[in-house]
Amino acid sequence: MPESNEDTLTKRIPAAVIDAAETALTALIAPLEPYLRPLTLDDRKRMAKMGPKTQSFVEHAEAYAKVNPEFRPGHFDMAAFTGHLETTHELWNLIDKVEQFAVTLKDTLSAEGSDALEAAYVYYNALKLAARENVAGAKAQLEDLSSRLPSRSRKGGGEGSEAGESAGS
């Protein structure tokens, strides 16, 4: 957790910024939507997959096919081949940017969630002390929060295994 609650609060993303980002994402998706091709799991399993290892093969095949029409089968659509390859390059550029953004967004989500969870543990531990001292209302809140706390495995570092939980226990 940051050194102080003030530090966390000053870094809070304003609602207007979140709204603007949601609007921008919607605006980003809208023009592409008619061209997007959702696939089923079976579609994904069956189709040939082009990636970094096959990219060179595809690019060279397209270049050879352009300048050597005598080797193309009669039903071969060169314009479609070139169009698919160009679209692939354009989509890779978009995917790179979206993935970089997604990683940073997920990192921020993890950090914010961690800060919130650590703050909840601080409150929870204070509540445990208050309940031990029989402070009015503390026991009911403690029971409610305890029932909502995930099991606390110390091994994996996953949900419920945060170090902040043990502070003051």
For the chain, give every domain's residue range: 5-165
pTM for the model:
0.68
Span of 7-16, 52-61, 140-149 with lowest mean pLDDT:
7-16
Please tell me the predicted confidence (pLDDT) of residue 126.
Answer: 96
At 150, is the pLDDT very low, low, confident or very high (cuts 50, 70, 90)?
confident
Q: pLDDT tens across 79-115, in order?
A: 999 999 999 999 999 999 999 999 999 999 999 999 9
Four-residue CA torsion sign, 82, 83, 86, 89 = negative
Higher-scoring residue by pLDDT: 155, 151: 151
Asked if the model's pLDDT at residue 2 lies above 80, the reply is no
Could you write out the DSSP letters of every residue in 67-119? H-GGGS-TT--HHHHHHHHHHHHHHHHHHHHHHHHHHHHHHHHHHHHHHHHHH
CA distance 84 to 68: 19
What are phi and psi for residue 7, nearest 5 degrees?
Answer: -60, -45
CA distance 140 to 120: 16
